[in-house]
Amino acid sequence: MKNKALIDEKIARLVQSVSTPIPESVEQRIVERLTTLPAGRRRILGRPDFWALVSACAALILAFFLLIPAFQRQPKSVIPEIRTYFELPDKKITIIFIQRPDFKLFEED
């Protein structure tokens, strides 16, 4: 764009041409409202570092809740009862192995 300055000036003139002045009564109510707000509230909510702190706290809380499952201990797996059948049909023998959940493999009594 060769005429960037001209385009900027034209846009500025168009914006200024449609702007209307604020009525005096509305401006007075705004000023009164701002003066009645507590000074701390006006100052805190308008500061960008306040909103940065709020968003950082929200991110920390979200990360905390997302990481809770990662740090929880997994429950010990319980071996279910296992039944295994073997049949020897020619000798008419059926062998059944049952492993119970309370079976202690590597523990001594």
Q: Which pLDDT tens digit goes with each residue over 37-84?
A: 665 555 555 667 777 888 899 999 998 888 887 777 776 666 677 778
Q: Are 61 and 70 in contact (CB under 8 A)?
A: no
Counts for the chain of helices (H) and strands (E), in that order: 4, 2
DSSP 21: P
pLDDT at 9: 85
- Tens digit of each residue's pLDDT (9 = 90 or more) over 46-56: 667 777 888 89
| CA distances, 40 to each of 29, 69, 77, 81 (Å) | 20, 40, 56, 67
DSSP 46: T
**Distance, first Cα to last Cα, the chain:** 90
Q: What is the pTM of this model?
A: 0.30
DSSP bridge partners of 96: 85
Closest CA to 99 of 86, 109, 84: 84
Give CA–CA dist 97/50, Å, rounded: 68
